[in-house]
């Protein structure tokens, strides 16, 4: 799809978040994992902001570039926590294992959004949903999402 301006990207993300809240937990498969990839300035962090808002999170979402990940509590529903990872600086997937990544990704009550997820592709579950962001021009982005 094409979005014109950050608000449209946030709206798309918020709608997806609400859809996920309505689907049953992936009890056998673990967390609901979404890999966000694509151009710098493509709108990955903007997407997470809209997604978090759609989940009812009031806190201001900023990129966890220096902390690798941030955690937000969810107010209601069967999911308990939203994890926001930014793997821009990760060179080897093993770098996230000491952060408890396996535990985080295997808990069905977590939603895990991962910017630069391609950097840890080898350790992501097979059912990870992928969303790709392409910079078209100043205010236009193409967003392609897998099933």
List of residues contacting ligand ADP (CB under 6 A): 3-6, 8-9, 40-46, 115, 133, 139-141
Residue with token string 């926590």: 81
Closer residue to ligand ADP, CB minimum distance, 127 or 139: 139
Per-residue CA distances from 55 to 76, 94, 138 (Å): 9, 30, 28
134: left (phi over 0), alpha (psi -120 to 50) or beta: beta
Binding Mg ion by CB under 5 A: which of 10, 37, 44, 84?
A: 44
Which residue is closest to Mg ion by CB? 45
Question: What proportions of the chain, in percent to the nearest 5, are helix, strand and coil?
Answer: 35, 30, 40
Instruction: Please state, in angstroms and rounded to a whole number, the distance separating the CA atoms of residues 66 and 87.
Output: 10
Question: Which is nearer to Mg ion, 41 or 77 (by Cβ)?
Answer: 41
- What CA–CA distance (Å, rounded) separates 9 from 68? 23
Is residue 63 a contact residue for Mg ion (CB under 5 A)?
A: yes
Question: What minimum distance in Å lies between the beta carbon of 25 and ligand ADP?
Answer: 27
Bridge partners of 133? 38, 143
In the bound state with ligand ADP, the residue whose beta carbon lies nearer, of 30 and 87, is 87
Q: Please state, in angstroms and rounded to a whole number, the distance separating the CA atoms of residues 79 and 38.
A: 27
Stretch that binds Mg ion, among 22-30, 56-64, 128-136, 139-147 (CB under 5 A): 56-64
Residue numbers 74-133 binding Mg ion by CB under 5 A: 115
Which C-beta is closer to ligand ADP: that of 1 or that of 26? 1
Residues at the contact surface with Mg ion, assessed by CB under 5 A: 44-45, 63, 115
């Amino acid at each position: 799809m094409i979005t014109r301006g950050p608000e449209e990207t946030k709206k798309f993300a918020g709608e997806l978040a609400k859809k996920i809240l309505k689907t049953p937990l992936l009890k056998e498969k673990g967390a609901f994992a979404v890999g966000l990839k694509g151009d710098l300035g493509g709108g990955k962090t903007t997407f997470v902001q809209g997604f978090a808002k759609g989940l009812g999170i009031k806190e201001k979402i900023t990129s966890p570039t220096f902390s690798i990940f941030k955690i937000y509590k969810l107010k209601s529903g069967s999911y308990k926590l939203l994890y926001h990872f930014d793997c821009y600086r990760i060179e080897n997937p093993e770098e996230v294992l000491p952060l408890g990544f396996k535990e985080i990704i295997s808990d069905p009550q977590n939603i895990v959004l991962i910017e630069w997820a391609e950097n840890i592709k080898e350790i992501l579950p097979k059912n990870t949903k992928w969303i790709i962001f392409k910079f078209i021009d100043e205010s236009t982005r193409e967003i392609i999402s897998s099933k």
